Structure 1
Amino acid sequence: MTTRPDILCIGSVLWDVIGRSASTMRQGSDVPGRITRLPGGVALNIAMTLTRFGLRPGLLSAVGRDAEGEDLVRACDRLGCLTCDLYRSDDLPTDVYMAVEGANGLIAAIADAHSLEQAGARILAPLRDGRLGSDAAPWAGPVALDGNLTTALLEEILHMPALAAADLRIAPASPGKADRLLPFLRAGRGALYVNLEEAGLLCQHDFATAPEAAQALLARGAARAVVTAGGAPAADATPEGVLTESPPEVLVTRVTGAGDTFMAAHVAAELRGEDRAAALHRALQAAAAYVSGDIPS
């Protein structure tokens, strides 16, 4: 059995601790709900969705050798993600993301990804030592890249010879980290997957619609921009044109991980050979099923 990944997912692999309530919440709210701990992080969320489409994603990230890290690696293995190339640290604890969601959406979140940031370029060793690639034999497949990496490491990835032939698909992780994608925007490299707020931060402009935002990202230098806008139409913009489609109307029961599900479904559809319109449709359907709760966490 081969352990060669179909796609590399580079970025955060951690535990998601999510508190959800059916009540509308505001600052200071104290309401009943459920608290869950699930495997998460942008890179892992994308990888987990890719496995549902029959792909073998390889994870490049930092996971501690603490009890939480051992539990997390076992969970990733059970889900069908390849963990053999993870950087395992004796000194760095396993990262964690904590969020609170109410009926009115995400209330607050804290991402503790300090171990990933401290590990830095050590997570890329398999792309240099021949396990997955090298400068002489670059990785030529798709890569899902998340913005939880430091700006310096993202710059390094952009210019490293071992990824010069890669099909880069890039997500900012959160609006607060959107500016970390600026090097890819300036270099015209990779497909950017952003929401309306993140597109506005990258362009320093408020956009009313996803098509408007996607076209502006192209004008700023992006090779491709895929922009979502919640329940409003999404857009996929390339120099060949802009495609738009409205997502299905569903009852929203959760939001954390929806963008990652959208991106993974979109990438998986294109890897199967579907055209841009079909891929956008499938991604919107998958994201709608996820936020409605039809796809289990």
Structure 2
Amino acid sequence: MAPAPDILCIGSCLWDIIGRTPSHMRLGGDVPGRISRIPGGVALNIAMTLRRFGLRPGILTAIGRDPEGEQLVAECEHLGLVTYFAYRSEDLPTDRYMAVEGANGLIAAIADAHSLEAAGEKILRPLEDGRLGSPDAPWSGPVALDGNLTTDLLGRIATSPLFSKADLRVAPASPGKAERLLPLMGHPGVTVYVNLEEARILGHREFGDSDQAARALLSQGAHRVLVTDGGRSASVADASGVLTQVPPEVLVTRVTGAGDTFLAAHVVAEREGAGRELALARALKAAALYVSGDTPS
């Protein structure tokens, strides 16, 4: 049997294929750089950061039994992540994500997460069959949930007794999937993490900054929301009000995975008893270290 996880990370677990260049890029650009293949996906990025902070994350996801899947599971286990509860498919390939980043940020990305979507609620079986919980004794710990799940499955999670006692931390996988989170906004156990663009999609209007966006999403029924705006600001809003901070200034060397690092660091800070102000500051510092090329710990 696998050791019991401290936190569950539910969503995408795949290979990130990232091309990075120190040059500014434009549409159609052809420049020298480096291409890497590393474990990634929103849920896995969060899990890896949580592990670096000393937690033992369990991953609920879909991973193929193809060579890429076997390599990915081996890498996850080497990192100390619990993959025992992942759904291993015989006929679905392991998902992939491809991005190009320049000195001017993310240029383009394609997420091939079709296997996770096809697996659907099969990835939640350990929460129902007694391995991690059941309808009568649901999982009561923290859960990091990402928007790569289908709208239908996220809607079921919003009303499912399997998540009635969970501390749900939710993030969209990309701006294009932000609206998938709408069914979860009013859940009393949900904290929603979005960037300013994703907040605009959820709010169906423009916002000038993270403070304005956080206030608007709270007024729309969100239980608690954190809105980031790159290096400009980040705001947390809940029933006690809105708190806004400015992140540390750093030289940006990478962007993919920064939001996942922010979420993980915030979860860990609150788990260790930090209040609103300190938890937000620690999350911003961890994200700043990450985008500068350092590894937060």
SS at match of 1:106: strand
Q: CA deviation at 1:276?
A: 1.1
Amino acid aligned to 2:161:
P
Amino acid aligned to 1:63:
I
* TM-score normalised by structure 1 residue count: 0.98
User: For 1:203 and 1:175, how far apart are their aligned partners in 2?
Assistant: 12
Alignment correspondent of 1:98:
98
User: For 2:80 and 2:157, how far apart are their aligned partners in 1?
Assistant: 25
Alignment correspondent of 1:134:
134
Alignment correspondent of 1:239:
239
Structure 1 runs, 4 residues or longer, greater than 4 Å off: 186-189
Q: CA deviation at 1:8?
A: 0.5
User: For 1:293 and 1:197, how far apart are their aligned partners in 2?
Assistant: 24
Amino acid aligned to 1:110:
I
Q: CA deviation at 1:130?
A: 0.2
Q: Do the aligned partners of 1:234 and 1:244 also contact (CA within 8 Å) in 2?
A: yes
Superposition pairs of residues 180-259 of structure 1, within 5 angstroms? 180-187=180-187, 189-259=189-259
- 2:70 aligned with 1:70: yes
Superposition pairs of residues 1-297 of structure 1, within 5 angstroms? 3-187=3-187, 189-295=189-295
Moved more, 157-166 or 18-27: 157-166
Q: Do the aligned partners of 1:99 and 1:107 also contact (CA within 8 Å) in 2?
A: yes
User: For 1:246 and 1:173, how far apart are their aligned partners in 2?
Assistant: 24
| Cα distance per residue 1:46-87 (max 9 Å; x no partner) | 000000111011000000000000000011111111000000
Q: CA deviation at 1:202?
A: 0.3
Moved more, 178-187 or 201-210: 178-187
Q: CA deviation at 1:188?
A: 5.2
Q: Do the aligned partners of 1:189 and 1:222 also contact (CA within 8 Å) in 2?
A: no
Amino acid aligned to 1:102:
G
User: For 2:181 and 2:5, how far apart are their aligned partners in 1?
Assistant: 25
User: For 2:15 and 2:231, how far apart are their aligned partners in 1?
Assistant: 28
| Cα distance per residue 1:275-296 (max 9 Å; x no partner) | 1111100000000000000118
* TM-score normalised by structure 2 residue count: 0.98
Q: Do the aligned partners of 1:44 and 1:59 also contact (CA within 8 Å) in 2?
A: yes
SS at match of 2:185: helix
Q: CA deviation at 1:162?
A: 1.4
Q: CA deviation at 1:187?
A: 4.4
Q: CA deviation at 1:138?
A: 0.5
Q: Do the aligned partners of 1:138 and 1:161 also contact (CA within 8 Å) in 2?
A: yes
Alpha-carbon RMSD? 1.1
User: For 1:218 and 1:115, how far apart are their aligned partners in 2?
Assistant: 33
SS at match of 1:225: strand
Q: Do the aligned partners of 1:154 and 1:180 also contact (CA within 8 Å) in 2?
A: yes
Structure 1 residue runs without a partner (length 5+): none
User: For 1:49 and 1:162, how far apart are their aligned partners in 2?
Assistant: 25
| Cα distance per residue 1:178-213 (max 9 Å; x no partner) | 000110124455000000010010001111110110
User: For 2:2 and 2:240, how far apart are their aligned partners in 1?
Assistant: 37
Q: CA deviation at 1:2?
A: 7.0
Q: CA deviation at 1:267?
A: 0.5
Structure 2 residue runs without a partner (length 5+): none
Q: Do the aligned partners of 2:147 and 2:170 also contact (CA within 8 Å) in 1?
A: yes
User: For 1:75 and 1:209, how far apart are their aligned partners in 2?
Assistant: 39
Q: CA deviation at 1:272?
A: 1.1
Q: Do the aligned partners of 2:165 and 2:189 also contact (CA within 8 Å) in 1?
A: no
Q: CA deviation at 1:273?
A: 1.2
Q: Do the aligned partners of 1:92 and 1:115 also contact (CA within 8 Å) in 2?
A: yes
